[in-house]
A and B are shown apart, each in its own frame.
Chain A
Amino acid sequence: MNPLIPLFVAIPLAGAFLIMILGRFIKDFNKYFASLILLILLIFSIYSLITTGSKLSLYKVGGWEPVNGVPIGIYMVMDGFTVIVLCIINIVGFLSVFYSISYIKRYTAENYYYALFCLMVAGMNGVVLSGDLFNIFVFLEISVIGAYALVAFGVEKNELEATFKYQVLGGIASFIILFGIGLIYWKTKTLNIADIKASMSSGYEKSFYLFAQILILSGFGLKAAIIPFHAWLPDAHSSAPSPISAMLSGVLIKAVGIYVIIRLFFNMFAITEGMSILITTLGTLSMVIGVFLAIGQWDIKRLLAYHSISQMGYVVLSAGIGMILISRGEKPEVAALAITGGVFHLINHAAFKGLLFLNAGAIEYTIGTRDLHEMGGLSKFMPATSATSFIASMSISGIPPFNGFFSKLIIIIAAIMARFYFVALLAVIVSIITLASFLKFQRYAFYNKTDAVNERKIKEVPFPMIFSMVIMSILCVLLSLLVIPGIRELVLTPAIDILMDPSKYSSIITGN
Chain B
Amino acid sequence: MIAYWMCFILFLVGLYGAITRRNLIKIAISLSIMEFSTFLFFALIGYIDGGVAPIVDPADPVKIYVDPLPQALVLTAIVIGLATTAMLMAVIIRIYRKYGTFDIREIKNLRG
Residues on A lying within 8 angstroms of B by beta carbon are 134, 137-138, 141, 145, 148-149, 152, 155-158, 160-165, 167-168, 171-172, 174-175, 178-179, 182, 185-186, 189, 191, 234-235, 238-239, 296-297, 302
Chain A residues whose CB sits within 8 angstroms of the CB of B38 once the complex forms: 175, 178-179, 182
Known A171-B84, A182-B42: A157·B91 in contact at CB below 8 Å: no
| A494 vs B69: C-alpha distance when bound (angstroms) | 34
* Ranked 5 nearest A-B pairs via Cβ: A175-B34, A141-B80, A235-B110, A171-B31, A160-B95
Are A141's CB and B83's CB within 8 A?
yes
Q: Could you list some 12 contacts between A and B, CB below 8 A?
A: A138-B76, A138-B80, A148-B91, A152-B91, A158-B109, A160-B94, A171-B31, A175-B14, A175-B31, A179-B41, A185-B70, A302-B112
Q: Flag whether B107 is at the interface (Cβ < 8 A).
A: yes
CB-based nearest A residue for B4: A186
| A111 vs B77: C-alpha distance when bound (angstroms) | 28
CB-based nearest B residue for A156: B98
Indicate the member of B35, B88, B92 with the most A CB atoms within 10 Å: B88
Taking the closest CB of chain A, its distance from the CB of B39, in whole angstroms, is 9
Known A134-B73, A167-B88: A161·B110 in contact at CB below 8 Å: yes
Taking the closest CB of chain A, its distance from the CB of B90, in whole angstroms, is 9
Contact of B110 among A134, A148, A239 (CB under 8 A): A239
| A372 vs B76: C-alpha distance when bound (angstroms) | 46
Residues on B lying within 8 angstroms of A by beta carbon are 11, 14-15, 18, 24, 27, 31, 34-35, 38, 41-42, 45, 67, 69-70, 73, 76-77, 80, 83-84, 87-88, 91-92, 94-95, 98-99, 107-110, 112
Taking the closest CB of chain A, its distance from the CB of B49, in whole angstroms, is 15
Taking the closest CB of chain B, its distance from the CB of A62, in whole angstroms, is 13
CB-based nearest B residue for A235: B110
Taking the closest CB of chain A, its distance from the CB of B48, in whole angstroms, is 12
CB-based nearest B residue for A158: B109
Are B31's CB and A172's CB within 8 A?
yes
Known A141-B84, A179-B11, A297-B112: A163·B91 in contact at CB below 8 Å: yes
Chain B residues whose CB sits within 8 angstroms of the CB of A186 once the complex forms: 45
Q: Is the interface of A mostly helix, strand, loop or mixed?
A: helix
| A420 vs B94: C-alpha distance when bound (angstroms) | 50
Taking the closest CB of chain A, its distance from the CB of B23, in whole angstroms, is 12
CB-based nearest A residue for B110: A235
Contact of A168 among B27, B41, B67, B94 (CB under 8 A): B27
Are A162's CB and B41's CB within 8 A?
no
| A434 vs B107: C-alpha distance when bound (angstroms) | 31
Are B84's CB and A167's CB within 8 A?
yes
Known A179-B38, A302-B112: A172·B80 in contact at CB below 8 Å: no
Chain A residues whose CB sits within 8 angstroms of the CB of B41 once the complex forms: 179, 182
Chain B residues whose CB sits within 8 angstroms of the CB of A158 once the complex forms: 109-110
Chain B residues whose CB sits within 8 angstroms of the CB of A297 once the complex forms: 112
Are B15's CB and A172's CB within 8 A?
yes
Are B98's CB and A149's CB within 8 A?
no
| A296 vs B108: C-alpha distance when bound (angstroms) | 19
Taking the closest CB of chain A, its distance from the CB of B4, in whole angstroms, is 9
Indicate the member of A156, A165, A174, A302 with the most B CB atoms within 10 Å: A174
| A156 vs B24: C-alpha distance when bound (angstroms) | 17
Beyond A163-B91, A178-B38, 9 extra complex contacts between A and B, CB < 8 Å: A158-B110, A160-B95, A160-B98, A179-B38, A179-B41, A182-B38, A182-B42, A182-B70, A189-B67
| A156 vs B95: C-alpha distance when bound (angstroms) | 9
CB-based nearest B residue for A165: B110
Chain A residues whose CB sits within 8 angstroms of the CB of B67 once the complex forms: 189
Chain A residues whose CB sits within 8 angstroms of the CB of B69 once the complex forms: 185, 191
Are B31's CB and A160's CB within 8 A?
no
Are A161's CB and B107's CB within 8 A?
yes
| A161 vs B24: C-alpha distance when bound (angstroms) | 11
Are B92's CB and A162's CB within 8 A?
no
Known A167-B87, A171-B88, A186-B45: A296·B112 in contact at CB below 8 Å: yes
Taking the closest CB of chain B, its distance from the CB of A278, in whole angstroms, is 21
Taking the closest CB of chain B, its distance from the CB of A205, in whole angstroms, is 15
Chain B residues whose CB sits within 8 angstroms of the CB of A189 once the complex forms: 67
Known A138-B80, A141-B83, A141-B84: A168·B18 in contact at CB below 8 Å: yes
Known A138-B76, A160-B98, A172-B15: A148·B87 in contact at CB below 8 Å: yes
Known A175-B38, A182-B38: A167·B110 in contact at CB below 8 Å: no
Are A167's CB and B98's CB within 8 A?
no
Contact of B35 among A137, A157, A175, A302 (CB under 8 A): A175
Known A163-B91, A182-B42: A168·B112 in contact at CB below 8 Å: no
Taking the closest CB of chain A, its distance from the CB of B38, in whole angstroms, is 5
Chain B residues whose CB sits within 8 angstroms of the CB of A164 once the complex forms: 24, 88, 91-92, 95, 107
Contact of B109 among A145, A157, A167, A191 (CB under 8 A): A157
Chain B residues whose CB sits within 8 angstroms of the CB of A171 once the complex forms: 18, 31, 34-35, 84, 88
Chain B residues whose CB sits within 8 angstroms of the CB of A235 once the complex forms: 110
| A302 vs B112: C-alpha distance when bound (angstroms) | 9
CB-based nearest A residue for B83: A145
Chain A residues whose CB sits within 8 angstroms of the CB of B112 once the complex forms: 234, 296-297, 302
Are A160's CB and B91's CB within 8 A?
yes
